[in-house]
Chain A
């Protein structure tokens, strides 16, 4: 009986009123997002209206986000496809459109969740071919190659386990964590570990509210059997310099840093421009003039608040800027690696196919009636 009741309820979800409300909400969110984008930029608008389940209007009135609306619409369409339209040849077009729409929503969720978001922070004249993770860190060992290229071996800091060694095959290096913290600060007692900045030890700190402010660190024992290296080292993400150790005629550098994601291209910041609202220090417009470089291809491009730059499956948004203590401005580009970006195109094709079938069926019906 209960099952039957649930089944009936699910059927109710196919109600057209739900579809109508969802479409109206999407209309409102799109319109609102478009106006918001004008002042706050595309990236901020996407985050607030389209990548959220709920958001706060005027900082205290909750309003539904596009993710929630799309989830409800997905269930509504699924229910409609299952119950409202029984499979018949003359309903083939309608059903194809519905399944195309379902696929479109599903693929949007996939591209949203599978995309990886990182950040590029650079100052004028700087050229980078990697982006940084907002939150996660890595323990890296690297050597400097010719032409300013750094060869890096990285181990995800979150994957380090208490009492468990990990091995970096590239340098035949075994690392044993003595102790490590997700958030830490330099301490006073002497831990007898080598360090690049004269830090003696680390103290545990509770995780900060802002996850991006965490400073992981730890004391590790490293062993390189081939060259008889056996050292106790201290690494902390707050350090500017890397710890240098020599073996096999090369200098190997050790560091804890924000995760680096190599890009298939490089971007150079040629000029960063910030305009402020008259009489205030509030930014009105900020934009980056960049030089895109890949292989033997390079061209200038502008990334503004409402003009992202797209290439190689990546989208670079002008998300913000920062000013350091010396007054140097740095441009901040949110870097999104889009996975499955072709899926919405495939969904659109299915929908178009459905429309075509539907019109053809209607045409055939009309022709039949005339006869």
Chain B
């Protein structure tokens, strides 16, 4: 019986299957990668239906605006903004370049590809997927020299993208990191 059961393998002569090709596997799916990541990040919900969050007690409400859904100020004057743009706002790569520019950094396309390829998809406590970008993590060689940094959580909805961004001195960011992560994890869709 054991050997009869053991012969039930998928060793059929003819098979059809799909796998990564060599370049996708070896080079982390570079250009294709972003499309994949966005596809996995996107939720079939509308941001305009509203979202909720739990603000850390130490944060004070700042001013909202057209694209600015909300803003908060920390005790040490760091600003946390929730901004939304149509569709994917040019994609992850373009925005990483933009944020890097805001702290006077520039990365090679390969460094950004490697970084995107390593991104992990997280979920909020209400199961909304998001990714976290820490600009100084993109290139370890630069990290030691730079004092400014940007931390961004990205959510992608059916027709809009939401960035939760914190920009400032790296030491300040590290102090606020836990509050920031808890805040991001508290994001939920309005019921």
Contact = CB atoms under 8 A, between A and B. Distances in A.
Interface of A: 106, 109-110, 113-114, 116, 122-123, 125-130, 138, 144-156, 159, 166, 168-170, 260, 262, 266, 268, 270, 291, 295-300, 339-340
B190 interface: no
Given A106-B1, A123-B26, 16 more contacts: A114-B8, A114-B9, A116-B9, A122-B25, A126-B26, A129-B25, A144-B21, A145-B18, A148-B21, A148-B24, A149-B19, A150-B20, A156-B14, A168-B14, A268-B117, A296-B121
Contact of B120 (A114, A166, A299): A299
B2 to A, nearest CB: 5
Interface of B: 1-3, 5-6, 8-21, 23-29, 32, 35-36, 40-41, 114, 117-118, 120-121, 129
A129 B5 contact: no
A110 to B, nearest CB: 5
Given A291-B118, A291-B120, A300-B120, A129 B20 contact: yes
Contacts of A156: 11-15
Contacts of A266: 20
Main secondary structure of the interface of B (DSSP, over half): mixed
Contacts of A127: 20, 24-25, 28-29, 117
A126 B25 contact: yes
B121 to A, nearest CB: 5
Contacts of A144: 21
Contact of A298 (B5, B10, B21, B120): B120
A330 B128 CA distance: 36
Contacts of A155: 13-14
A113 B2 contact: yes
B19 A130 contact: yes
A295 B40 contact: yes
A153 B18 CA distance: 9
Contact of B17 (A125, A262, A297): A262
Contacts of B117: 125, 127, 268
A117 to B, nearest CB: 11
28 contacts: A110-B5, A113-B2, A116-B9, A125-B28, A125-B117, A126-B25, A127-B24, A127-B28, A127-B29, A128-B19, A128-B20, A148-B32, A149-B19, A150-B21, A152-B17, A152-B18, A152-B19, A153-B14, A154-B14, A154-B16, A155-B13, A155-B14, A156-B14, A262-B17, A262-B18, A266-B20, A296-B41, A339-B8
Contacts of B23: 148
A252 B93 CA distance: 32
Contacts of A147: 24, 29, 32, 35-36
Contacts of B10: 116
Contacts of B21: 144, 148-150
B16 A153 contact: yes
A268 B28 contact: yes
Contacts of A114: 5-6, 8-9
